[in-house]
């Protein structure tokens, strides 16, 4: 049983009018489609909420499996430019194919493409694919099959891909362990692996903060940071074991005095 993605692109360029596939026009978009398929598969188990501007921008926990996915053009069909593309897995001898994974990834991708075309942020790489399509494409159709069974059908006319709004700084408090230290002077930073398994957070740090983290790097830390994309910065990182022995009076003192620096940072 094979997983097939049938695509139709219609538009007003000479190549599309003559039912020819222009490599110059469509080559970048097809490459972007493969990248989007793999990134979508790598995070297939993630439940994406509305306005998910960054989903798909980075690989997920299934990235090794997703790297085996490939798109192979097996037919060029009538109707503007119609492509029959087989979604396959490039696996080694004796390795088992996961057709369910390939099918669900293709379905997820075409549905994300449909939502992104409406201006709803669902998948960053699907958005990149739409932006890679030439302006001459006015109509898109996608149908996913598993064998003879149709799994998804999408038709897109006008495309609206608005710019992603700039991310706002936000305060994040989480527990984690030190995954990596960057000690180059002027470029100090810490990567924390979240204790709940949701990923890694990298923050810049001062030299003094780095010394404190190094001193307690073998335990679980309660991290307070300002998250702002690549400019995320560490405010403090305290051992959780030390916090568990604090008395109520000590915690009150901690809030009233030791958080002074944090409050000043938030006020900036």
Query: Which domain CATH number covers 225?
Result: 2.40.50.140
Same domain, 201 and 233: yes
- Is the predicted pLDDT of residue 154 greater than 90, yes or no? yes
Same-domain pairing of 235 and 143: no
Q: Considering the domain boundaries, does residue 164 fall inside one?
A: no
Q: Are residues 218 and 150 in the same domain?
A: no
Residue ranges of alpha helices (H) inside the chain are 14-17, 23-42, 63-66, 99-117, 124-132, 207-215, 240-244, 248-253, 260-267
- Assess whether 130 and 248 both reside in one domain: no
If asked whether residues 235 and 191 sit together in one domain, one would say yes
Please check whether residue 49 lies inside any domain of the structure.
yes
- Do residue 123 and residue 244 come from a single domain? no
Domain that holds residue 74: 3-156
Question: Domains in the chain: how many in total?
Answer: 2
Tokens of 146: 């598993």
Q: Per-residue pLDDT averaged across 234-248, rounded?
A: 73
| Comparison of pLDDT for 228 and 145, the residue scoring more | 145
Q: Is the pLDDT assigned to residue 240 strictly greater than 90?
A: no
Q: Is residue 262 part of a domain?
A: yes
pLDDT higher than 90, residue 155: yes
Model pLDDT, residue 56: 46
Residue 22 falls within a domain, yes or no? yes
Residue at which a domain ends, from 121, 156, 191: 156
- For residue 77, pLDDT over 90 is answered with no
- What average pLDDT does the segment 185-192 reach? 90
Q: Which residue has 């503007």 as its token pair?
A: 80
Query: Could you give the angle at the alpha carbon of 187 between the alpha carbons of 186 and 191, nearest 5°?
Result: 145
> Considering 156, 191, 208, which residue would you say is the last residue of a domain?
156
Whether 152 and 181 share a structural domain: no
For residue 89, is it within any domain? yes
Does residue 7 form part of some domain? yes
DSSP 155: E
What's the pLDDT at 224?
93
pLDDT range class, residue 83, cuts 50, 70, 90: confident
Both 142 and 253 in a single domain? no
Residue 68 to residue 170: CA distance in whole angstroms: 36
**pTM score, two decimals?**
0.60
Does residue 186 sit in the same domain as residue 60?
no
Q: What is the pLDDT of residues 102-153, one digit of tens each?
A: 899 999 999 999 999 999 888 999 999 999 999 989 999 999 999 899 999 9
- pLDDT over threshold 60, residue 245: no
Buried b / exposed e over 6-39, threshold 16 CB at 10 Å, is bbbbbbebebbeeeebeeebbebbbebbbebbbb
151 and 183: one domain? no
Say which residue the tokens 């119609």 belong to. 82
Return the ∠ at Cα 56 (arms to 163 and 71), rounded to 5°: 110
Whether residues 177 and 128 share a domain: the answer is no
**Domain finish residue from 103, 122, 156:** 156
> Are 137 and 204 found together in one domain?
no
Q: Determine the pLDDT at residue 246.
A: 57
Most confident residue range from 44-48, 75-79, 83-87, 245-249: 83-87
User: Residue 34 pLDDT > 90, yes or no?
Assistant: yes
Determine, yes or no, domain membership for 161: no
As a whole number, mean pLDDT of residues 243-260 equals 60
pLDDT at 267: 64
């Amino acid at each position: 049983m094979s997983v097939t993605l049938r695509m139709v692109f219609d538009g007003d360029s000479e190549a599309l009018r003559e039912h020819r596939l222009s490599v110059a026009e469509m080559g970048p978009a097809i490459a972007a489609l493969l990248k989007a398929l793999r990134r979508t598969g790598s995070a297939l188990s993630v439940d994406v909420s509305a306005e998910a501007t960054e989903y798909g921008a980075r690989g997920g926990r299934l990235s090794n499996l997703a790297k085996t996915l490939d798109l192979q053009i097996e037919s060029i069909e009538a109707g503007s430019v119609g492509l029959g593309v087989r979604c396959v897995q490039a696996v080694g001898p004796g390795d088992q194919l996961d057709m369910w994974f390939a099918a669900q990834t293709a379905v997820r991708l075409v549905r994300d493409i449909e939502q992104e075309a409406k201006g709803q942020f669902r998948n960053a790489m699907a958005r990149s694919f739409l932006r890679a399509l030439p302006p001459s494409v006015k109509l898109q159709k996608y149908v996913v099959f598993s064998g003879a069974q149709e799994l998804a059908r999408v038709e897109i006319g006008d495309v609206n891909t608005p710019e992603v709004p700039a991310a706002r700084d936000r305060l994040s408090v989480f527990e984690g362990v030190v995954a990596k230290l960057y000690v180059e002077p002027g470029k100090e930073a810490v990567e924390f692996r979240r204790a709940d398994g949701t990923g890694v957070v990298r923050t810049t740090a001062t030299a003094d903060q780095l010394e404190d983290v190094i001193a307690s790097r073998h335990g679980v830390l309660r991290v307070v940071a300002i998250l702002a994309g690549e400019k995320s910065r560490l405010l403090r990182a305290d051992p959780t074991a030390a916090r568990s022995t604090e008395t109520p009076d000590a915690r009150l003192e901690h809030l009233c005095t030791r958080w002074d620096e944090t409050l000043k940072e938030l006020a900036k």
